[in-house]
Amino acid sequence: MAKMRLLLLGLLIFFTPSLCCPEYQKQALLQFKASLIKAANGSSSESQLVDLESWNSTSDCCHWSRIICSSRLDSRNVIALYLDSLFAMQFPEPTVVTSIILTPLFRITSLMLLDISSNQIQGELPGSGFANLSKLVYLDMMLNGFSGSIPSQLFHLRHLQYVDMSSNSFHGILSGEVGSLQNLRVLKLDDNFLGGNIPKEMGNITKLQHLFLRGNKFSGGIPPSFLHLKELEELDLRDNLLSMEIPLHIGNLSNMTSLALSNNRLTGRIPSSIQKLAKLETIQLDNNLLTGEIPSWLFNIKSLKNLVLGGSNNLTWNNNDAKMVPKCMLSQLSMKSCGLAGEIPDWISTQKTLEFLDLSENQLEGVFPQWLAEMEVGSIILSDNSLTGSLPPRLFNSPTLAVLSLSRNNFSGELPANIGNASELMILMLAGNNFSGKVPESISMIYRLLILDLSSNRFSGNSFPDLSSNVLLGYIDFSSNELSGEIPTKFSQETRLLALGKNKFSGSLPRNLTNMIQLEHLDIHDNNITGELPEFMSQISTLQVLNLRNNSLQGSIPNSISNLSSLQILDLSSNYLVGEIPAKFGNLDGMIETPNTLSSSPDIFSMPHEVNDLIVNWKRSKQALSSASLELYSLLDLSMNQLSGAIPASLGTLKGLKLLNISHNNLSGKIPASFGDLESVESLDLSYNKLSGSLPRSLAKLQELAILDVSNNKLKGKIPVGGQMDTMNDPNDFANNSGLCGMQIQVSCPEDQLPPAKPHEDESKDAWFSWEGVGIGYSVGLFIAVGIIYFGQAPPANLCRRQRRQVV
Ligand SMILES: *[C@@H]1O[C@H](CO)[C@@H](O)[C@H](O)[C@H]1NC(C)=O
Ligand SMILES: *[C@@H]1O[C@H](CO)[C@@H](O)[C@H](O)[C@H]1NC(C)=O
Ligand SMILES: *[C@@H]1O[C@H](CO)[C@@H](O)[C@H](O)[C@H]1NC(C)=O
Ligand SMILES: *[C@@H]1O[C@H](CO)[C@@H](O)[C@H](O)[C@H]1NC(C)=O
Ligand SMILES: *[C@@H]1O[C@H](CO)[C@@H](O)[C@H](O)[C@H]1NC(C)=O
Ligand SMILES: *[C@@H]1O[C@H](CO)[C@@H](O)[C@H](O)[C@H]1NC(C)=O
Ligand SMILES: *[C@@H]1O[C@H](CO)[C@@H](O)[C@H](O)[C@H]1NC(C)=O
Ligand SMILES: *[C@@H]1O[C@H](CO)[C@@H](O)[C@H](O)[C@H]1NC(C)=O
Ligand SMILES: *[C@@H]1O[C@H](CO)[C@@H](O)[C@H](O)[C@H]1NC(C)=O
Ligand SMILES: *[C@@H]1O[C@H](CO)[C@@H](O)[C@H](O)[C@H]1NC(C)=O
Ligand SMILES: *[C@@H]1O[C@H](CO)[C@@H](O)[C@H](O)[C@H]1NC(C)=O
Ligand SMILES: *[C@@H]1O[C@H](CO)[C@@H](O)[C@H](O)[C@H]1NC(C)=O
């Protein structure tokens, strides 16, 4: 692709003197710049324009940056505009501009190359404008917010060879409708209803060699008219909603080098015509709904380098074909969830150039082959199989190993002592195996390490590698092992997640925890931590999750915990905490904001969803919340302690809380009426305390409430009615109180027994039953997503492609 640009430049550019660009083109460009400045200044956080300083009225526009003029002697028309990434990176809010700013550019009809990628431009493409650019050969619009359908004028640009519309919100025309303005408005109301076919007229741009429509909202089938694009070399339709079968004759496009259709809903089999594609280097079909056997002829395509299958497809593999001899030489092989059984296939050893191997979610057995350890592959992902045995030390002498994920197999034995020799290793995930012995000291030598997940094994011992010089290591998960001794603290300041739960750690919480000044997630549940919950914990101001459940903490909860303004999940349950619930908990800002479904900032660490799912008491059972979507949750669990005194009314301000559990304590007094303000709460457990008085009527305001347990208190009076309260009809949730009544538990209240006509006993029973069906509100259950690791992609082609423009 960069090649393509070079070619274009090579043909057109050589040194020419004197002539300037036409005045009208210069004016158009200055006008464009002026509207950019207006847009940049108008944005909420004033942003900078990048590399436009040279654009001024006194100089020749052929000498400006981002511009190339024709080198013909008679005219110096502007022929190429590299207008990508015009605005300096802005977080959290990028500058947003509308497609109107493009208007001046449409006067420059001599344009052959237009790159307006990565600019956050919103709105529909101005079709009439593009009709002017009849000489266009290269058009890059990726990474904007263009919406609507592709204007028909584009299909008349017969010279187009390169079109990139990836990562926008383009959609097609819904079948039969020629998207009248009215229809489009209606469609825009709900993103989920967008879709529509890729316009079949794309097949009219017969010179097209590179077409990228990745990451839009196209649905329907791949248009058969694409088979007219005889020159097509690269087709990228990944991340759309495409369905139906891959065109049977796709193999007629004999110049195809890359066919990328991942993450759609394509059905049917892999068309056999693909074996005719003698130049095919990349085929990505993963995460569709394809069926049938993976054809072995794929491995006979000599040019093939990247083969990515599997994921949500339902493809099968002929496991009897073990003697296969591939004719290709792959650098990327991904066959996740493809029904591979038996040992890791031998024929992989013939792929000497392999850099990326993903065979996760299969039924592979046997040991980690020595030949694979010797192949020096960069990424090896074999998670979710049934592999056994210990790891060959040779694996860690590989100078290329960057990702090793072997989670959820049945590997065993000690980790090789030379593990520290894997100097390029960035991601090491060995969770859910049967590894034992000490955590090797030499891990501290892997200084590129970003993610270390050794959870759910049988690692033991009370000495621990000093990882304080592993300055990139952000995620550390040692939970569910048999580690003992003091809580280790020798980790880098960059540590964001430290999970040590379900081990045998003892002693008190060490002050050195506060050295981790970026720590967001600290989980030490199910250990034997003693002593008090120290004041200094409040110094880790970045904490979002603090889980100390099931330890032996004593003393009272320090007020200062309420200074942790990012805290969204606090679990102190099953300890020996005494005293009152600090009234200042009402200030926990992280629990006040209503959880947002949009993650605030893009984060490299949100990638491995597998890391540390948080186990919480959720609706009476233990559930795993995916750490990838923790921002959705806000939980406060103080249950199973010896807390006493009254419940502070200020807890009612925690509007973001989805779960509040203060059961199994010695709390007394009334349930605060302010609990009616816990507008997000789904699960409210106050059972096993000494609460008295009646249930506040305000509880009827809780529209999300699914579970309310007030049993084993000293409550009396009428259970409030209305809203979700009408559905709370499990008698166990109200049992062992001092006289609760209400239709929910079929105990009539004195005030409801109207004096004159005392109904017959049977009738009253009927009446209660009829009540139960009434007004069952809805409750928005939590989306409990247990994420999956997905490193299965090479970096998006688009990112690799961003090579800087040539210096002319
Ligand atoms: C707008 O942006 C320009 C340059 O980008 C800058 O010189 C100017 O100060 C900004 N503010 C206003 C109000 O124009
Ligand atoms: C205009 O830009 C040119 C370079 O393209 C520069 O040499 C010149 O000084 C600039 N003039 C003004 C008035 O900024
Ligand atoms: C097309 O170009 C002409 C000049 O060649 C210009 O007058 C016209 O405004 C342009 N059309 C659009 C839609 O920009
Ligand atoms: C596309 O080409 C077909 C003939 O191959 C022609 O009938 C049709 O009008 C063209 N459509 C457009 C939008 O150019
Ligand atoms: C395919 O590519 C070759 C060489 O790049 C070129 O000569 C040919 O015209 C292209 N088109 C078709 C349909 O083969
Ligand atoms: C594809 O090529 C085959 C011959 O190889 C031909 O019979 C068929 O008509 C072609 N199909 C299309 C849609 O071009
Ligand atoms: C996958 O395909 C097999 C037949 O090849 C079928 O029996 C099975 O039900 C399919 N599974 C799913 C989830 O569609
Ligand atoms: C792991 O291997 C042991 C024997 O070494 C076997 O008993 C056990 O069932 C295996 N577990 C899994 C999950 O395959
Ligand atoms: C680690 O690698 C070096 C060479 O890079 C080698 O000399 C040494 O023997 C290796 N260590 C082990 C324990 O294999
Ligand atoms: C783990 O390995 C031990 C032997 O080291 C074996 O007794 C045990 O069954 C294994 N556990 C599992 C779950 O495979
Ligand atoms: C605690 O941190 C300090 C540096 O802040 C360090 O000197 C000391 O050795 C650490 N103690 C332990 C037990 O890790
Ligand atoms: C926890 O530690 C305390 C004191 O160190 C000890 O008395 C107690 O037995 C331990 N509890 C468990 C379950 O190991």
Give yes or no: residues 732 and 794 share one domain: no
Q: Determine the pLDDT at residue 176.
A: 40
The rounded distance, in Å, linking the Cα atoms of 237 and 165 is 10
Full DSSP string of 13-44: -----SPPPPHHHHHHHHHHHHHHHHHHHHSS
**Does the Cβ of 201 fall within 6 Å of ligand 4?**
yes
- Distance from Cα 486 to the centre of ligand 12, integer Å: 13
Sign of CA dihedral 285, 286, 289, 291: positive
- Nearest-CA residue for ligand 7 atom 8 is 314
Q: For ligand 11, what atom is nearest to the CA of residue 511?
A: 1
Are residues 615 and 703 both part of a single domain? yes
Written as six digits, the tokens of 667 are: 């709390």
Answer for the pair 493, 469: CB distance below 8 angstroms, yes or no.
Answer: no
**Distance, CA 98 to ligand 2 centroid (Å)?**
29
Distances (CA, A) of 40 to 45, 66, 98, 197, 596: 8, 18, 12, 35, 28
- Ligand 7 mutation pick, 269, 291, 318, 337, max ligand atoms within 8 A of CB: 291
**With bands split at pLDDT 50, 70 and 90, how would you rate the model's confidence at 250?**
very high
pLDDT at position 758 over 50: no
In a domain, 631, yes or no: yes
**Minimal-distance CA residue to ligand 3 atom 13:** 129
| Ligand 1 contact via 41 beta carbon (within 6 Å) | yes
Task: Tell me, yes or no, whether 717 and 663 share the same domain.
Answer: yes
Instruction: Measure 411 CA to ligand 8 centroid, in angstroms.
Output: 9
Is residue 675 domain-resident?
yes
Percentage of the chain with pLDDT > 70?
82
Do residue 658 and residue 580 come from a single domain? yes
Tokens linked to 73: 């002697």
User: Ligand 11: distance of its center to the CA of 577 in Å?
Assistant: 28
pLDDT band at 76 (very low <50, low <70, confident <90, very high): confident
**Cα–Cα distance, 24 to 76 (Å, whole number):** 12
DSSP 762: H
Residue identifier of the C-alpha nearest atom 14 of ligand 2 = 56
CA–CA separation, 210 and 234 (whole Å): 5
Residue to probe by mutation, ligand 1, list 41, 56, 90, 97, most atoms within 8 Å of CB: 41
291 within ligand 2 shell (Cβ under 6 A): no
Burial string for 426-442 (b: 16+ CB within 10 Å, else e) reads bbbbbbbbebbebbbeb
| 414 CB near ligand 5 (under 6 Å) | no
Does 746 share its domain with 795?
Answer: no
Among protein residues, the one with the nearest Cα to ligand 10's atom 7 is 434
660 and 802 in a single domain? The answer is: no
Q: Where are the beta strands (DSSP E) in 269-421?
A: 282-284, 291-293, 306-310, 314-316, 332-336, 341-342, 356-358, 363-364, 379-381, 388-389, 403-405, 410-413
pLDDT of residue 628: 53
In total, the chain counts a number of residues equal to 808
Q: Which residues line ligand 6 (CB under 6 A)?
A: 227, 249, 252
Rounded Cα distance, 220 and 241, in Å: 7
Q: How far is CA 652 from each of CA 370, 591, 596, 630, 671, rounded to the nearest angstrom?
A: 60, 11, 19, 22, 10
Number of domains in the chain: 2
Between 10-19, 77-86, 98-107, the lowest mean confidence (pLDDT) is in 10-19
Query: What digits encode the pLDDT tens for the residues 640-670?
Result: 999 999 999 999 999 999 999 999 999 999 9
With a 6 A CB cut-off, is 398 part of the ligand 9 pocket?
no
Q: Give the residue, out of 385, 387, 434, with the most ligand 10 atoms within 8 A of its beta carbon, to mutate for a pocket test.
A: 434
Q: Which two three-digit tokens encode residue 259?
A: 């066919």
Asked if pLDDT for residue 543 goes beyond 90, the answer is yes
Q: Which of 581, 526, 516 is nearest to 552 (CA)?
A: 526
Highest mean pLDDT among 44-48, 86-90, 606-610: 86-90
737 and 670 together in one domain:
yes
Residue 63, number of CB atoms within 10 A of its CB: 11
pLDDT of residue 772: 28
In a domain, 138, yes or no: no
Residue 631 pLDDT grade (very low, low, confident, very high; cuts 50, 70, 90):
low
Residue 366 inside a domain? The answer is no
Q: How far are the Cα atoms of 154, 197, 200, 798 from residue 183, in angstroms, in the given order? A: 21, 15, 20, 32
Domain boundary among 728, 750, 772: 750
Is the pLDDT assigned to residue 598 strictly greater than 60? no
CA of 203 to the centre of ligand 4 (A): 8
Distance of CA 363 to the CA centre of its chain: 27
Name the pLDDT band for 605 (thresholds 50, 70, 90).
Answer: very low
Q: Rounded distance, CA 200 to CA 30, Å?
A: 37
Question: What pLDDT band is residue 232 in, cutting at 50, 70 and 90?
Answer: very high
Mutating to test ligand 5, I would choose from 161, 208, 231, 249 the residue with most ligand atoms within 8 A of its C-beta, which is: 231
- What tens digit of pLDDT does each residue of 449-502 get? 999 999 999 999 988 899 999 999 999 999 999 999 999 999 999 899 999 999
Host H or E run for residue 7: helix 2-12
Q: pLDDT category, 777, cuts 50, 70, 90?
A: very low
Give the distance (Å) from ligand 6 centre to CA of residue 227: 9
* Range 775-781 average pLDDT: 25
pLDDT at 149: 87
For 537, the domain range is 531-750
The residue out of 706, 732, 750 marking a domain boundary is 750
Range with the poorest average pLDDT among 1-15, 22-36, 266-280: 1-15
* Statement: residue 795 has pLDDT above 50: no
Give the 3-state secondary structure of residue 761. Answer: helix
Ligand 3 touching residue 109 (CB < 6 A): yes
Closest by alpha carbon to 781, among 658, 690, 636, 692?
Answer: 658
**CATH number of the domain bearing residue 535:** 3.80.10.10
Which ligand has the minimum distance to the alpha carbon of residue 485?
Answer: 12
Q: How far is the CA of 61 from the centre of ligand 2 (A)?
A: 11
Nearest to 798 by CA among 164, 308, 138, 239: 164
Q: Specify whether the CB–CB gap between 303 and 326 falls below 8 A.
A: no
If asked whether residues 787 and 735 sit together in one domain, one would say no
Which of 730, 750, 770 represents a domain boundary (last residue)?
Answer: 750
pLDDT band of residue 355 (cuts 50, 70, 90) is very high
CA of 410 to the centre of ligand 10 (A): 9
pLDDT for 12 beyond 90: no
Quick one: which ligand is closest to 456's CA? 10
Which element (helix H / strand E) includes 668? strand 666-670
Q: Kindly report the three-state secondary structure assignment for every residue of 576-595.
A: CCEECCCHHHHHCHHHHCCC
- Calpha distance 718→696 (Å, rounded): 9
Does the pLDDT at position 35 exceed 70?
Answer: yes
Assigned domain for 785 exists: yes
| Confidence at residue 87, expressed as pLDDT on a 0 to 100 scale | 86
Quote the CA–CA distance of 337 and 313 in Å, as a whole number: 8
Residue 353 has pLDDT above 70, yes or no: yes
Q: Is residue 545 part of a domain?
A: yes
Ligand nearest the Cα of residue 339 is 7
Q: Is residue 367 part of a domain?
A: no
CB distance 423 to ligand 9 below 6 Å: no
Q: Is 421 in the pocket of ligand 9 (CB under 6 A)?
A: yes
For CA atoms 258, 404, 505, 615, give the dihedral sign: positive
Do residues 611 and 735 share a domain? yes
CA distances from 706 to 639, 700, 804 (A): 19, 12, 55
What is the sign, positive or negative, of the torsion defined by CA atoms of 57, 88, 126, 2? positive
pLDDT of residue 790: 26
Mean pLDDT score across all residues of the chain: 84
* Same domain, yes or no: 799 and 669: no
Residues 545 and 675 occupy one common structural domain: yes
Residue 332, in any domain of the structure: no
Pocket test for ligand 9, best of 395, 396, 418, 441 (most atoms within 8 A of CB): 418
> Could you give the CA distance from residue 611 to residue 633 in angstroms, rounded to a whole number?
17
Does the C-beta of 49 come closer than 6 Å to ligand 1?
yes
- What is the CA(40)–ligand 3 centre distance, in A? 25
- Joined together, the tokens standing for residue 604 give 């490299």
Q: Are both 552 and 618 inside the same structural domain? A: yes
- Residue 146, class by beta-carbon neighbours within 10 Å (0-12 exposed, 13-18 middle, 19+ buried)? buried
